[in-house]
Amino acid sequence: MIYERILIVLAFFGLMDSLYLWYEHRTSNATLICPLDHDCSAVTESKWSTVFGVRNEILGSFYYLVMLAGGFALVLAPTVSWSLDTVLLLASLGGFVFSAFLTALQFAVIKDYCFYCLISAGLSALIFINCLIIKYHA
């Protein structure tokens, strides 16, 4: 039951991170302040900041919300875990692959980094690992 709770915590922090990026994009005319002394806006305003017209932070918010709801469902209704854990594992794999792709773009193409995007990528990796443990933990 501990890994289901870890999933909830990781998904919550991911949701807060992506909602913060969305909020800053919607309300701020100034560039994001990056603690790594990089230009976060070079990443968040690049041509890769949307997929089919939807901003990545909105996609991230939806992803983290699904993972959060899935974590709560695993805790509150453990009898459905036989199928839900597979769905969460596949969703987390998709989130991890997408985050890895976006991170590679930051390093190889944009050549600038977004602190908040790197946090999201790290959380996506941890969520994927955690979902693997949930699925295959004895």
Residue spans of the domains in the chain: they are 2-136
What is the value of pTM for the model shown?
Answer: 0.92
Q: How far apart are CA 41 and CA 115, in angstroms?
A: 10
The CATH number of 2-136 is 1.20.1440.130
Q: Nearest CA to 107 among 28, 26, 38, 13?
A: 38
Q: What is the pLDDT, as a whole number, of residue 9?
A: 98
Q: What is the pLDDT, as a whole number, of residue 86?
A: 92
pLDDT (tens place) for every residue of the chain, 138 residues total: 799 999 999 999 999 999 999 998 888 766 677 887 778 888 888 899 989 999 999 999 999 999 999 999 999 987 766 689 999 999 999 999 999 999 999 999 999 889 999 999 999 999 999 999 999 884
**Cα–Cα distances in angstroms (integers) from residue 114 to residues 81, 88, 101, in the given order:** 35, 26, 14
Helix (H, G, I), strand (E, B) or coil at 114: coil
For residue 94, the cross-strand partners are: none
